[in-house]
Amino acid sequence: MSESSIIPWYIAGLAFECSECGRCCSGPEEGYVWATPKELDGIAEELGMTSEAFRKKYARKVGRRWSLVECPATHNCIFVEQGKCRVYGVRPTQCRTWPFWKGNVESPEEWAWAGQRCEGINRGKLHSVEHIQRLASMSDE
């Protein structure tokens, strides 16, 4: 049996609706918010900055990739203010695909674990298995 013919545990879909609580963007752990150069340029434009100035202030190079910086004291994404994302409309793919990351939809247990931190999991709109699989395939996790 091929991997593509295996029926996922979430075949009936999964409920999620972002409450904009900001927990997915917050510490206490240090992490990375991966972004492509095109995504960085889009955020720079949204903020009225040049790409060069934006990268110098808000991004860091990690190997060959780019990550948004974090607040040093909290490890929160630098764009989270009072639980809200300042660049929500142009946020990177990593942010757009939450919570449907490969690791989160791997099993019911992983989904439940993610739900302990994210109040939008198992609430709101039901997302189809096709939608979930498309976002999981885009996730970097």
Average pLDDT for 66-75:
92
Q: Which of 75, 92, 108, 7 is nearest to 41 (CA)?
A: 92
Q: What is the mean pLDDT of residues 56-72?
A: 95
Q: What is the mean pLDDT of the chain?
A: 91
pLDDT for 23-53, tens place per residue?
Answer: 888 877 778 999 999 999 999 999 999 999 9
The encoded tokens of residue 120 equal 């939008």
Delimit the domains of the chain by residue range: 12-138
Query: Is residue 109's pLDDT more than 90?
Result: yes
The token duo for 80 is 């989270």
Is 37:66 a contact under the CB 8 Å cutoff? yes
The label of the residue with tokens 């709101």 reads: 124
Question: In the predicted model, is pLDDT for residue 6 greater than 90?
Answer: no
Whether the predicted pLDDT of 100 surpasses 70: yes
The pLDDT of 74-103, averaged and rounded, is 92
Distance CA 43, CA 13 (A): 31
Q: Which residue in 73, 79, 105 sits closest to 92, CA to CA?
A: 79
For the residues 95-102, what does the mean pLDDT come to? 95
Find the range with the poorest average confidence among 16-20, 64-68, 128-132.
Answer: 16-20
Indicate the pLDDT class of residue 22, thresholds 50, 70 and 90: confident
Instruction: Evaluate whether 5 touches 112 at the Cβ level (below 8 Å).
Output: no
Whether 69 contacts 60, CB under 8 Å: yes
Buried b (16+ CB within 10 A) or exposed e, 97-121: bbbbbbebbeeeeebeebbeebebb
Task: Say whether pLDDT at 4 is over 80.
Answer: no
The answer to whether residue 3 scores a pLDDT higher than 60 is no
